[in-house]
Amino acid sequence: MRLHEAKRDLYRRLAKEQGYRSRAAFKLIQAVEKYHFIKPGDRVVDFGAAPGGWMQVAAGLVGDDGLVVGVDLHDVRVKGPNVKSIEMDVHDPGVGQKVKDALGGLAADVVLSDLAPSVSGVWELDQGRQVDLTLRVLELSGSLLRQDGGGFFKLFEGERSQEVRDDFRRRFDVVRVIKPAASRSVSSELYYYCDGWKLPAA
């Protein structure tokens, strides 16, 4: 068995044993262990939430006084007193207001994005679509994320990656790239931890 296959099977088994809805849960767990960016009482918005692994992790971290709002095209069946789900396209013009309503009009402390397009098999097209999804989350964050808030974003590395990195650096004081151990070594995906959100100029 190849190394990346063994690692994939390890995290799949661990997810099943620990009750997480996806092995991707461990990507978020490992990032939070490194950067400590989700805390008790936080309000977290999770874009691309299905099947719900990140929502489960975030809900456990924010505790009873926090809130996690998941957004996805598909229904996310993660239940709990501190969890809300929105079945909606991130490109829908009304999605920002829907998230604000779910947050009770309060700003989010952290925005997560694990968005990926339906894969066509044409890498340039898929990477471009994934970049557009990430840029859309950054756009939405302008009206959702509090001053000095944080974010954790997936990015497919490719021709347009620099465009997103430049946007991260324009909007956040701190930008760090991370490849969680739970991410397959052969995968082109990288994750970016960002902190110190700069509110858009009035």
Q: What is the C-alpha separation between 131 and 120, in angstroms, rounded?
A: 15
Query: Residue 85 maps to which CATH number?
Result: 3.40.50.150
Going by pLDDT thresholds of 50, 70 and 90, the confidence category of residue 26 is confident
129 in a domain, yes or no? yes
- Average pLDDT, rounded, for the chain: 90
98 is known as an active-site residue: no
Query: pLDDT tens-digit profile of 15-24?
Result: 665 656 577 8
Under a CB-based contact definition with an 8 Å cutoff, are residues 184 and 199 in contact? Answer: no
Query: pLDDT tens-digit profile of 80-89?
Result: 999 999 999 9
Where does residue 172 rank: exposed (0-12), middle (13-18), buried (19+ CB within 10 A)?
A: buried
pLDDT exceeds cutoff 80 at 159 = yes
202 in a domain, yes or no? no
Under a CB-based contact definition with an 8 Å cutoff, are residues 160 and 127 in contact? Answer: yes
169 in a domain, yes or no? yes
pLDDT exceeds cutoff 50 at 101 = yes
Q: Which amino acid is at 130?
A: Q
Where does residue 64 rank: exposed (0-12), middle (13-18), buried (19+ CB within 10 A)?
A: exposed
Q: State the Cα torsion 180-161-124-139 to the nearest 10°.
A: 100
Going by pLDDT thresholds of 50, 70 and 90, the confidence category of residue 136 is very high
Query: pLDDT tens-digit profile of 163-189?
Result: 999 999 999 999 999 988 887 766 788
Look up the pTM and report it: 0.90
Q: Does the N-terminal peptide bond of residue 117 adopt cis geometry, omega within 30 degrees of 0?
A: no
* Alpha carbon distances (Å) from 194 to 9, 74, 112, 156, 157: 29, 26, 10, 16, 17
109 in a domain, yes or no? yes
**Annotated active-site residue in 16, 39, 154, 179:** 154
Q: What's the structural domain count of the chain?
A: 1
Residue 34: which domain range? 3-197
pLDDT of residue 12: 66
